[in-house]
Amino acid sequence: MVQAMIRRIQRFDVLVTLGCLVLLSYFAWHAMKGPRGYDFLDTLHAQSAGLIADLAAEEAEQHRLEAKVALMRPERVDPDMLEELARTQLELSRRNELIVRLHD
């Protein structure tokens, strides 16, 4: 009777151990090869690096545009910027200048 009980406990221990191994292997497979596994993580890291590079380029462009806008503020007009805008937008020039237009 005691030996039968010990065998039953041992059998139960073996079944629990096998069940745990099956679950562990299931989760390990999904961590390695599943749709959200390490390969997907590598893809996310690559996308993140690309987006960080894009963000840096966009921030540089934003700073360049902010600096250009700061030159056009009414309280602080840059004379060179004003002259460039007058020449390009209003097509103004000085009296002694010769303007040659090239048509596309």
Decide if pLDDT at 26 tops 90: yes
Mean pLDDT of the chain: 85
Q: How confident is the model at residue 102 (pLDDT cuts 50, 70, 90)?
A: confident
pLDDT tens digits along 53-88: 999 999 999 999 998 888 777 777 777 877 777 777
What is the pLDDT averaged over residues 89-96? Answer: 74
pLDDT surpassing 90 at residue 101: no
The DSSP-derived string for 12-23 is: HHHHHHHHHHHH
The DSSP 8-state label assigned to residue 76 in this structure reads S
Instruction: Tell me: pLDDT of 31 over 80.
Output: yes
Read off the pLDDT band of 27 (50, 70, 90): very high
Contacts for 35-44 with beta carbons within 8 Å, 24 or more apart?
Answer: none
pTM, two decimal places = 0.48
Asked whether residue 1 carries a pLDDT value surpassing 70, the answer given is: no
